Amino acid sequence: MKRIERDKCILEMSKDHEPVENIKSGETIIFECLDCYGGQIVREDQDMSKVDWAFNNPSTGPLYIEGVKEGDIVKIEILDIKVEDKGVMTSRPGAGALKDKWDKLECSVIPIENNKAIFNDKISIPLDPMIGVIGLAPKNESIRNSTPDYHGGNMDCKRISKGSTVYLKSNVEGGLLSMGDIHGVMGDGEVSISGLEMNGEVEVRVTVLKDYKIPTPSVLSEDLFMTIYSAKTLDEAAVKATDSMFEFLVENIDISRKEAGNLLSLIGNLRINQIVDPLMTVRMELEKEIFDKYSYSFK
């Protein structure tokens, strides 16, 4: 199986990047990933002034997918996520929802034992690894990895975990897929600027879908389908994520617009992915069972 090593990383997604590896549609590949701080934080007592904060959210890649043209859907199946034996977090003045709670920059190094994060002597948290940054090259301007948008990027969706599938629309030939920012565990919102940031590796199967209509970015898990949107405000992101799901329902299953709206109000769930990036990210979740009832099959 092909593998992209973690030193092949980029700090922005761009159509101008040269691919570091290529695969055919339907093949699997492993991405080795650095944590969002580039592996620079190793001890709680280290000199944080020496950390290069510009080296933020490195993503491994990009990967060229043979046969992908602009407008094609790239299907990314997350087959496995492996993490290392410790994770790190930071508390930073001016960052996150709790930005006014800190008077100095601090870091936390959290060990992993028996697949749990040892938070302190009273709390151990089961790991649930997910991918924070996953995306394709944008069509025109480069976009920093820290920013989520139509191309994917730093969506920080905790549902992008082992067993899930991510759908992204390609903007350039070959797609140019990259990913990183693995979290061992993260709550919705990522309110204090970081999840449990970890080095690790991700095994994925990548498939090109021609003439397939599906909202992007979107995520399919065993029991949920999710539409994702990022915007300057949570209000806008919430409305657009909902609208994306609504239109998908109306166009793809035998349901009226009134029924679709009522259904989302009854059993659709808006969830906040994150509120700490340059754009806010929200997802609309709907039980996959609804699509099964209408004999709709996801590719």
Q: What is the pLDDT along the chain (299 residues), one digit of tens a residue?
A: 999 999 999 999 999 999 999 999 999 999 999 999 999 999 998 988 889 999 999 999 999 999 999 999 999 999 999 999 999 999 888 888 888 888 888 899 999 999 999 999 999 999 999 999 999 999 999 999 999 999 999 999 999 999 999 999 999 999 999 999 999 999 999 999 999 999 999 999 999 999 999 999 999 999 999 999 999 999 999 999 999 999 999 999 999 999 999 999 999 999 999 999 999 999 999 999 999 999 999 99
Query: What is the reported pLDDT for 88?
Result: 97
Question: For residue 106, which phi and psi values (nearest 5 degrees)?
Answer: -135, 155
Residues 202 and 78 in one domain: yes
Q: Does a structural domain hold residue 151?
A: no
Enter the DSSP assignment of 19: P
Q: Does a structural domain hold residue 154?
A: no
The number of folded domains in the chain is 2
Query: What is the reported pLDDT for 99?
Result: 82
Q: Residue 189: which of 277, 124, 268, 106 has the closest Cα?
A: 277
Q: Does a structural domain hold residue 179?
A: yes
Cα separation, 10 vs 144, in Å, equals 9
Query: What is the reported pLDDT for 94?
Result: 82
Cα separation, 185 vs 127, in Å, equals 5
Q: Does a structural domain hold residue 205?
A: yes
Query: What is the reported pLDDT for 213?
Result: 96
Query: What is the reported pLDDT for 115?
Result: 97
Query: What is the reported pLDDT for 85?
Result: 94
Cα separation, 248 vs 156, in Å, equals 23
Cβ atoms of 216 and 256 closer than 8 Å: no
**Could you tell me the two tokens for 168?**
């992204």
Cα separation, 207 vs 59, in Å, equals 20
Query: What is the reported pLDDT for 289?
Result: 97
Measured from the Cβ of residue 70, the count of other Cβ atoms closer than 10 Å reads: 12
In this structure, the chain runs to a length of: 299
Host domain of residue 280: 218-293
Which residues are bridge partners to 226 per DSSP? 219, 285
Residues 185 and 114 in one domain: yes
Residues 56 and 137 in one domain: yes
Residues 205 and 241 in one domain: no
Q: Does a structural domain hold residue 153?
A: no
Residues 185 and 242 in one domain: no
